[in-house]
Amino acid sequence: MDSIAILDFGSQYAQIIARRVREAQVYCELFPWDAPMEKILSIAPKGFILSGGPKSVYEEGAPYIQEFIFKTGLPILGICYGMQALTYALGGQVDPSAQREYGPAEIEPAMRNTMLDEISKVWMSHGDRITRMPEGFTVLARSGNSPFAAIGDMKRKYFGVQFHPEVHHTPNGEKLLKHFVIDICGMKPNWTPASIIEESITRIRKQVGNGRVLAAVSGGVDSSVAAALVHKAIGDQLVAVFVDTGLLRKNEGEQVASAFREHLGAELLTVDAADGFLDALREVTEPEEKRRIVGEKFIRVFEEQAKQLGQPRFLVQGTIYPDVVESSAPDRNKAEKIKTHHNVGGLPEDMQFELVEPLRYLFKDEVRAVGEALGLPESLVWRQPFPGPGLTVRCLGEVTRERVSRLRAADAILIEELSKAGFLGRNAGTSQAFVVLLPVRSVGVMGDQRTYQEAAAIRAVTTEDFMTADWVRLPYDLLAKVANRIVNEVDGINRVVYDITSKPPATIEWE
């Protein structure tokens, strides 16, 4: 399949550029700016997009455009730093602006019938600017601050924009990217769920032949869609295993198993490992220790299962493209570790498996579209994310069987009421909602009797990427109903509070 290569010069928006191109149904891949030529050319690119970046072109060690890119003779679109690097490489002049330009701006076209036709409001974020264009370039658009807001060399098909077409703050920016990849690079918009499925099936069959394949399904979107794709490719050569850790939400195990059976015609082997997990967690209260124990225990249970199944040679992993890209991105500051994230099914590399990763090149929205096209139910495809360590991270303090079932019961009431009121599910405005059980007891009164019981917190957030989040302004009456039902129906909880912190400074989960 043809493709577009996006070179990452250290931009926080690099992945967004790739998503916009994929949304135009064009396949693309992201590479660090200095990736080897063989690697970049191996995807047979029909054009290059150069991302923004934090450096100045004339700074020591600044990223640059590798020579072979020009030798291919293919179209290039440089965005922000990418435009400056292009200008610099082709003999134009780049200088520091008197003032850093950040935020909204307006541009005015200098020409008709270009990729900028539908763009007027744009998002800027740059320190340097072009002061002289390279030979062969003409001005396509100007802004109050920059006479060269967009430039192009029609003959060589080289283009540069000072603003960021990939972000939502640039209305119609996606049309500019689409125009570049389709009209200028000549790509066909053929990257659709159907073609993704078809291509994956070919690739999976080629990789595994008639070997047996094992999949760990957690109930999350990624592991389910990965297993579904592999099942579609090789049918009963796949054994999908669902480990019931005893730390799941109410009915979760049954829902996943029935989705597999009814919608895919695939069996899901359920392993009941609840006792083992709860034993391992006894008396542990430290959040990171709880996470470590669950991750470790999962591996042991899964190893044992694989042995019983005669050690299949292949293992399905639901790795998705952002995970792959993050691990090879250029020297962006590595984020400080806040908490250890485990994916159930995130198994160590020293296990004796060859990995099958059918979602390795897909973004989350593509994974969902593929899941739907494969016939998985909406309830599974649009399920809220659930942390790998399960309810342990929502059961603050010691994780006992009694406290987990208390939490599960309260959580089920919240979910039931939010669903009824239309706050959950696709496009309903709440990205994630759950109950947290607190190891705090307080005094209450119920039917003339004094109570001294635990408190529960409701968490409901809205977010686009789970990196930042805001709390949902749920109606008071709905909160009242949920609180009332929890205190009345769940033994051991006599007080309910609502978490009104955003992320940051809080995180979404409490542990």
Chain residues binding ligand XMP by CB under 6 A are 339, 341-343, 385, 387-389, 432, 466, 503, 507-509
Query: How far apart, in whole angstroms, are the C-alpha atoms of residue 132 and residue 138?
Result: 11
Of 117 and 509, which has the nearer Cβ to ligand XMP?
Answer: 509
Which one from 80, 179, 185, 454 is the annotated catalytic residue?
A: 80
Instruction: Closer to ligand XMP by CB, 127 or 397: give it.
Output: 397
Residue among 34, 104, 22 at smallest CA distance from 69: 34
Pair 152, 140: CB distance under 8 Å: yes
Exposed (0-12), middle (13-18) or buried (19+): which is 4, by Cβ within 10 Å?
buried
Looking only at the bridges linking them, the beta strands covering 432-446 and 449-462 are: antiparallel
| Least separation in angstroms between CB 173 and ligand XMP | 27
Looking at the Cβ atoms of 263 and 503, the one nearer to ligand XMP is 503
- Quick check: 226 and 316 in contact, CB under 8 A? yes
Given the complex with ligand XMP, which of 87 and 432 has the nearer CB atom? 432
Contact call for residues 460 and 433 (beta carbons, < 8 A): yes
Residue corresponding to tokens 């119920």: 446
Both ends of the chain: CA-CA distance in Å? 44
Q: How far is the CB of 250 from ligand XMP (least distance, A)?
A: 17
Given the residues 29, 101, 166, 366, select the one marked as catalytic.
166
Q: What is the DSSP letter of 92?
A: -
Strand-pair partners of 8: 32
Measured distance CA(123)–CA(79) in Å, rounded: 12
Contact predicate 221/229, CB 8 Å = no
The residue written with tokens 């399960």 in the block is 390
DSSP state of 220: S
Shortest distance, position 392 Cβ to ligand XMP, whole Å: 10
- Indicate if 185 belongs to the active site: no
C-beta of 17 vs 294, nearer to ligand XMP:
294
Q: How far is the CB of 314 from ligand XMP (least distance, A)?
A: 22
Of 29, 101, 164, 395, the active-site residue reads 164
The C-alpha R_g of the chain, in whole angstroms, comes to: 26
Q: How far is the CB of 40 from ligand XMP (least distance, A)?
A: 31
Q: Which is nearer to ligand XMP, 307 or 337 (CB)?
A: 337
Residue type, 294: V
User: Is 395 an active-site residue?
Assistant: no
For this structure, is 164 an active site residue? yes
SS3 call for 484: helix
Residue 324 token pair: 């792959």
Of 179 and 342, which CB lies nearer to ligand XMP in the complex structure? 342
* Least distance (Å) between residue 264 CB and ligand XMP: 23
CB of 511 to ligand XMP, least distance (A): 8
State the catalytic residues.
80, 164, 166
